């Protein structure tokens, strides 16, 4: 049981993790009181989780979020992202990172993915959370990594070219590299470990069987994707689901 009254603020990563727990039946929300509960209502948390929304509050025009969505709802996700960052020079970079992260869920997780985000204090915060097999089980599908442990697998996933056997091994590496050059924050977790960029370290964390990624990109320090990664994107940013490269 979780009481939302206990929270004074909630970030996209926590929303994604909580949404998976609630949908699976492992966690039950005991109340819908307080500012955090109202915020969750406005980002569609209760609707996504199949919980009756007792708030029915109008969405304020100045709330710069995109609602809790399945990673399969790509048209809605990218449409909202473009609306939030219309005219910003970092839009394409963030779109390309998000394409890679959504592709990882589709290709490797074997589970359900959630994406949620917001723009706050000149930062874009995005979390992608899945309840799939996790990084270690995914990498072990490649014979080259059949003997690695969970800690090593997490760090390997951030290296260029490391893949479970499908894909190019760009996804997590490119997101990490862009955020490193941006001076932003990047967090990835799977199993019993999580890695954070600021400061750069691996720590033990409550177990998550799938994989979660959170990025906080500073719009005041724009990074061009192809310059940061040394690679040109091999596809166009999708206009709808049929355009996705996976």
**Do 156 and 190 touch, CB atoms closer than 8 A?**
no
Question: Hunting for tokens 């109202």 — which residue is that?
Answer: 38
Span 134-190, pLDDT tens digits = 999 999 999 999 999 999 999 999 998 888 777 677 789 999 999 999 999 999 999
pLDDT at 55 (0 to 100): 78
Spatial strand order of the sheet with 113-120 comes to: 65-70, 113-120, 123-130, 201-218, 185-196
Span 133-149, pLDDT tens digits = 999 999 999 999 999 99
pLDDT at 34 (0 to 100): 83
Confidence of residue 238 (pLDDT cuts 50, 70, 90): very low
The rounded distance, in Å, linking the Cα atoms of 68 and 86 is 20
pLDDT greater at residue 5 or residue 217: 217
pLDDT at 245 (0 to 100): 39
CA distances from 173 to 157, 170, 189 (A): 7, 5, 14
Span 25-35, pLDDT tens digits = 889 988 888 88
Adjacent-strand bridge partners of 116: 127
Q: How many CA atoms lie within 13 A of 5 on its CB side?
A: 5
């Amino acid at each position: 049981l979780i009481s939302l009254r206990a929270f004074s603020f909630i970030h996209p990563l926590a929303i994604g993790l909580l949404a998976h727990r609630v949908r699976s039946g492992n966690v039950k929300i005991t109340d819908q009181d307080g500012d955090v509960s109202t915020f969750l209502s406005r980002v569609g948390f209760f609707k996504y989780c199949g919980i009756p929304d007792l708030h029915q509050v109008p969405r304020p025009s100045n709330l710069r979020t995109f609602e809790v969505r399945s990673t399969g709802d790509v048209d809605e996700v990218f449409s909202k992202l473009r609306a939030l960052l219309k005219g910003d020079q970092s839009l394409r970079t963030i779109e390309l990172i998000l394409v890679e992260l959504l592709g990882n869920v589709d290709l490797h997780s074997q589970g359900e993915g959630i994406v949620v985000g917001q723009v706050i204090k000149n930062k874009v915060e995005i979390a992608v959370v899945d309840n799939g097999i996790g990084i270690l089980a995914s990498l072990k599908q490649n014979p080259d990594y059949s003997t690695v442990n969970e800690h090593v697998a997490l760090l390997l996933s951030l290296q260029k070219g490391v893949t479970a056997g499908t894909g190019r091994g760009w996804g997590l590496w490119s997101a990490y590299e862009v955020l490193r050059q941006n001076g932003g924050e990047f967090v990835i977790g799977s199993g019993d470990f999580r890695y954070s960029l600021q400061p750069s370290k691996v720590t033990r964390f409550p177990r998550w069987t799938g994989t979660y990624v959170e990025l906080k990109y500073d719009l005041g320090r724009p990074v061009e994707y192809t310059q940061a990664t040394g690679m040109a994107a091999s596809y166009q940013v999708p206009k709808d689901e049929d355009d996705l490269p996976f």
